């Protein structure tokens, strides 16, 4: 008798993964990535908004203080200064107009009539200006340093009203 051959079924793969399971894993990975990206976007957006609000508040308060100070303040314009600068390589000149802001406009008349104060302030400013070179003053930082130096030096002579600001209303360096 001939042997009977039994048809054999094709062998199944050893793993139990099906296409459905693979698609489920890929879907979960995509959803997780999208969720992480969305969460990052929301958190960064909140942080930026909080920083923007924090930055706005002091600015608004400062503007209000400046407006109040300007309403109460007075300005003492000084005669223009024309000075030789301390440049060693060439003769250079500075023409500058300076105005002084004080905190009480009711005292303006006294300031304008106080010739001793005005002459002393001019003297101190002249000393500061003639010690500078064009290189010292050409940059914005140099101008700000000069403004602060003048304010510190002449602030001693202002008790009532108090000196608030030194302002340059003209600034020309002949190079």
173 or 73: whose pLDDT is higher? 173
pTM, two decimal places: 0.60
Element housing 24 (H / E) = helix 19-72
Q: What was the pLDDT predicted at 152?
A: 93
Q: What is the DSSP letter of 161?
A: S
- The tokens for 173 are 């360096």
Q: How far is CA 38 from CA 24, 31, 47, 85, 97, in A?
A: 21, 10, 14, 61, 57
151 vs 158: CA distance, rounded Å: 10
Q: Write down the domain spans for the chain.
A: 17-72, 74-174
CATH 3.40.50.1970 corresponds to the domain 74-174: no
3-state SS, residue 2: coil
Q: What was the pLDDT predicted at 4?
A: 62
What's the pLDDT band for 10 if we cut at 50, 70, 90? low
61 or 52: whose pLDDT is higher? 52
38 or 90: whose pLDDT is higher? 90
**Residue pLDDT, tens place only, 92-150:** 899 999 999 888 888 888 888 889 989 999 999 999 999 999 999 999 999 999 999 99
């Amino acid at each position: 008798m001939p042997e009977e051959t039994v048809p054999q079924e094709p062998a199944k793969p050893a793993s139990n993964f099906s296409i459905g399971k693979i698609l489920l894993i890929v879907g979960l990975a995509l959803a997780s990535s999208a969720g992480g990206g969305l969460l990052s976007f929301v958190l960064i957006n909140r942080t930026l908004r909080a920083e923007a609000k924090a930055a706005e508040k002091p600015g608004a308060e400062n503007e209000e203080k400046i407006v109040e100070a300007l309403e109460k303040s007075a300005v003492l314009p000084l005669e223009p200064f024309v000075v030789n600068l301390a440049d060693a390589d060439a003769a250079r000149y500075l023409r500058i107009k300076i105005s002084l802001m004080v905190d009480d406009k009711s005292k303006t008349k006294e300031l304008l009539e106080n010739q001793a104060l005005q002459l002393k302030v001019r003297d101190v400013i002249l000393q500061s200006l003639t010690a500078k070179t064009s290189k010292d003053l050409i940059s914005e930082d140099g101008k700000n340093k000069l403004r602060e130096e003048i304010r510190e030096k002449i602030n001693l002579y202002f008790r009532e009203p108090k000196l608030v600001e030194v302002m340059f209303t003209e600034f020309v360096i002949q190079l």
